[in-house]
Amino acid sequence: MLFRFVVGGLVVSIFSALGDVLKPKSFAGLFGAAPSVALATLGLTIASNGVAYAAVEARSMIGGAVALFVYAFSVAWVIFRYKRSAALVTAGLLCLWLATALGAWALFLK
């Protein structure tokens, strides 16, 4: 578990640093949806559970990525429209990600 924590933390930090040094902001934002957790998790899953298990996870990840699109688009819209603080909007809308991801699971993956 400690190994997983360290690998995940480092991969996420590297992608975040890449986002920091790039301009313009909309381009840097692409790295906000980088497959950092996915790369760390899938690499470790392949080593421990095999490729078939990891492929099933990747199939579900499509639902998670659609939920991420809905989440990020909503964050942008709410902040542009209402000028609320980033912390409030980004944390508050996490429930939208969860609802969309679980909806995708119930409709297409269950």
Residue 80 near another protein by CB under 8 A: yes
Residue 17 near another protein by CB under 8 A: yes
Nearest to 69, CA basis, from 30, 21, 38: 30
Residue 16 near another protein by CB under 8 A: yes
Indicate the residue type of 30: L
Residue 1 near another protein by CB under 8 A: yes
Q: At what angle do helices 51-82 and 36-49 cross, to 10 degrees?
A: 160
* Shortest distance (Å) from residue 106 CB to another protein: 11
Residue 107 near another protein by CB under 8 A: no
> Taking a C-beta distance cutoff of 8 angstroms, is the pair 56, 45 a contact?
no
* Residues 19-48 within binding reach of another protein (CB under 8 A): 19-46
End-to-end CA distance of the chain: 28
Residue 57 near another protein by CB under 8 A: yes
